[in-house]
Structure 1
Amino acid sequence: MKNLKHVLSLWLGLAIQLAYANEVMNSSPKEMVELVAGLPKPPFIIDENGNGMQLELIRQAFDVSDIDVSFIHMPLGRNIMGYRHENVDGIAILPPEYDHPTIYLSEPYITYQNVAISLLEHNFTIEKIADLSGKSVVSFQNAKKFLGDEFGKTVSYLVDYREIHDQKKQIDLLFLRRAEVIVLDINIFRYMLKHHSEQYVMKPFKIHYIFNKRDYAVGFKSAELRDKFNYGLQITKDNGSYQMVLDNYLYQSM
Structure 2
Amino acid sequence: MRAIFHYLLHSVLVLLGIAALSSDNVHAGEITIAFAGDRPPYFFRQNGQDAGIELDLVRLIMGNAGHTIKVVNIPKIRMLKSLKEKEIDGATTVQENNDEKLFFSDRYLDFQNIVISKAKHDIRLKSLSELKHYSFIIWQDGWRNLGPDFEMDYRPDANGIFPKNYNQAFNQLSQNKMFWADRVQLIIIDKNIFEHYKNLLSKEFDTSVPLTYHDLIKSKTSYAVAFHQASLRDQFNEGLKKARANGSYQRVLDNYR
- Normalising by structure 1, we get a TM-score of 0.64
Indicate how the Cα distance of structure 1 residues 242 and 187 shifts in structure 2: closer, same or farther if over 3 A, else same. same
* Separation in structure 2 between the aligned mates of residue 220 and residue 163 of structure 1, nearest angstrom: 27
Indicate how the Cα distance of structure 1 residues 226 and 115 shifts in structure 2: closer, same or farther if over 3 A, else same. same
- Code of the residue aligned with 2:81 in structure 1: it is M
* Aligned residue number for residue 9 of structure 2: none
* Aligned residue number for residue 81 of structure 1: 81
How many residue pairs get aligned? The number is 215
SS in 2 for 1:50: strand
* Aligned residue number for residue 240 of structure 2: 233
User: How far apart are residue 84 of structure 1 and its match?
Assistant: 4.0
Unpaired runs of 5+ in structure 2? Answer: 1-26, 145-149, 157-161
SS in 1 for 2:235: helix
- Code of the residue aligned with 1:209 in structure 2: it is L
Please tell me whether residue 40 in structure 1 is matched to residue 37 in structure 2. yes
Residue 219 of structure 1 is aligned with which of 221, 226, 242? 226
Residue 197 of structure 2 is aligned with which of 192, 201, 204? 192
- Code of the residue aligned with 1:168 in structure 2: it is N
Indicate how the Cα distance of structure 1 residues 219 and 121 shifts in structure 2: closer, same or farther if over 3 A, else same. same
Deviations 1:12-42 (A, max 9, x none): xxxxxxxxxxxxxxxxxx9324234144221
Please say which structure displays the higher CA radius of gyration.
1
Indicate how the Cα distance of structure 1 residues 221 and 130 shifts in structure 2: closer, same or farther if over 3 A, else same. closer
- Code of the residue aligned with 2:114 in structure 1: it is V
Indicate how the Cα distance of structure 1 residues 123 and 64 shifts in structure 2: closer, same or farther if over 3 A, else same. farther
Indicate how the Cα distance of structure 1 residues 225 and 134 shifts in structure 2: closer, same or farther if over 3 A, else same. closer
Indicate how the Cα distance of structure 1 residues 117 and 162 shifts in structure 2: closer, same or farther if over 3 A, else same. same
Indicate how the Cα distance of structure 1 residues 229 and 156 shifts in structure 2: closer, same or farther if over 3 A, else same. closer
SS in 2 for 1:217: strand
SS in 2 for 1:201: coil
SS in 1 for 2:51: coil
* Aligned residue number for residue 20 of structure 1: none
CA contact (8 A) 2:29 2:66 kept: no
Q: Identity over the aligned pairs, expressed in percent?
A: 25
Indicate the RMSD between aligned Cα atoms, in angstroms: 3.9
- Normalising by structure 2, we get a TM-score of 0.63
Question: Which moves more between the two structures, 226-235 or 141-150?
Answer: 141-150
User: How far apart are residue 232 of structure 1 and its match?
Assistant: 2.0
User: How far apart are residue 197 of structure 1 and its match?
Assistant: 3.6
- Code of the residue aligned with 1:32 in structure 2: it is G
CA contact (8 A) 2:106 2:224 kept: yes
Unpaired runs of 5+ in structure 1? Answer: 1-29
User: How far apart are residue 200 of structure 1 and its match?
Assistant: 4.4
